[in-house]
Structure 1
Amino acid sequence: MIRIWNIDDKKQEAWTFVQKIRTVILKWLNTSFAILFTIEMCLKWIAFGFVRYFSSVWTILDFFIVMVSVTSLFIKQDNLIALRSLRTLRALRPLRAISRWQGMKIVVNALMYAIPSIFNVLLVCLVFWLIFSIMGVQMFGGRFYKCVNQNGERLPLEVVNNKSDCFKNSSYEWVNSNINFDHVGYAYLALFQVATFEGWMEVMADAVDCRGIDLQPAREANIYAYIYFVIFIVCGSFFTLNLFIGVIIDNFNALKKKISTCH
């Protein structure tokens, strides 16, 4: 036992030493990058002048990152929590690479210029989804309730037929699904989950199994609900996603053509 404790103590000491070395290396790297960024910013001030320097969005981004880097050097562990949170902003440093690469600048600018068009597409998408939400409320509203046992398993139709049968046994519980179509807000959330293809099978299964209000669901009792989800996935998911992609690509091509014409 004593040998095991000695081995554990040596491992702990070695790990502590490695941690200290890594901390010192990261500290010096952080200081070095902050100094290099500051020198670069000062040289740009001399070359461009203050007015021209702060007239570009990319140089303003560089200025903000440099200020965060310099400020983080003077923040100690005993400072305010609000100030220590500035250290997390050092993760913005890779954004400086965008201002150096023309291709990345074109992509980012295309995304920025596409924002107004994206909002228009978003409005079309919301109106389109509103139609399916209203249809979903009419078809599935209040129909996702089911009777489950103490293990949370849905009981078969032979045991429980409706809500009244469920309440006759104190060990049973009449519960609703987490994602449902009880009103338009919940319907929007359900359709969003279906559109992202994350957990959408459970939503569709509840819709296909529902029989009616206050009735115990049964497997594929409402098989025509498949048509509703297939149409929504094709029109409300694939179609709207292609609209977003098309707007961004159109702005990218227009911006790229504009830059090539200027050169």
Structure 2
Amino acid sequence: MSGMDNRNSETRAIVTGGAQGIGFAVAEALADEGCKALALVGRSQEKGERAAAVLKKKGIDVIFIAADVAKVADCRRAVDTALRHFGTINGLVNSAATSARGSLIETSEDLFDQIFATNVRGPFFLMQGVVAHLLGRKAPGSIVNVLSMSAHAGQSFLTPYSTSKGALMTLTKNVANSYRANRIRCNAVLPGWMDTEGEAIVQATFHNAPADWLERAEAAQPMGQLVKPAQLARLITYMLSPQSGVMTGSLVDYDQNIAGVIGE
């Protein structure tokens, strides 16, 4: 087997948002790279069971845990359930997120709280559970948080979302620094505009996008496509794997547009 084929053969991971989009793409990539133990976390039992069935056909011990990461009790239950099933966990991918729209002026207290509960508090307490387990075992581990290019600033209609991703950016670096002597690594990816099922719903709901919105959007991009989950997934699985060595505290922009560039 090549390095990529088995680089996650020792990985036992929890993947949030694991039933669709980036999370499921990561789960599929992990399966291809030799991972045999996967806990998918998501809100939809139906989607979760469907995703788990696909992975089980690849010979993986996979469980789906119905949970809402916006609820701390659900985060704790997800970690406990995975540990009860697998015995040990050494990987976590925080992919679940909400990209609900809201400007500074229009954002309600409830919307702000919902976005931060899902995008910051959820990953915080999931990491807390996994890191506590790893420290107890004196074992190494790896965490990858999925951020967004919006963490650099973000559009005017994404103010609370962008701010939440900025908070997760700082949290990623803080956790990386705090546990590097314990060989627990924490990194993040910052994807740009992405082609996912969730994005299609957002475009229709918030932007009255036409049926061919994706074709139009991709035609206008420098490289003629939006970010594809299957492409991004291989970067995430590399960062999760032992192949990425001592890499920790890294924030990797994954986009064709460069942060900080104004015009041409």
Judging by fraction of residues, say which structure has more strand.
Answer: 2
TM-score of the two chains, using structure 2 as the length reference: 0.21
Which structure shows the bigger proportion of residues in helix conformation?
1
Q: Which has the higher contact order (CA 8 A, sep 6+)?
A: 2
Larger CA Rg, structure 1 vs 2? 1
TM (norm. structure 1) is: 0.21
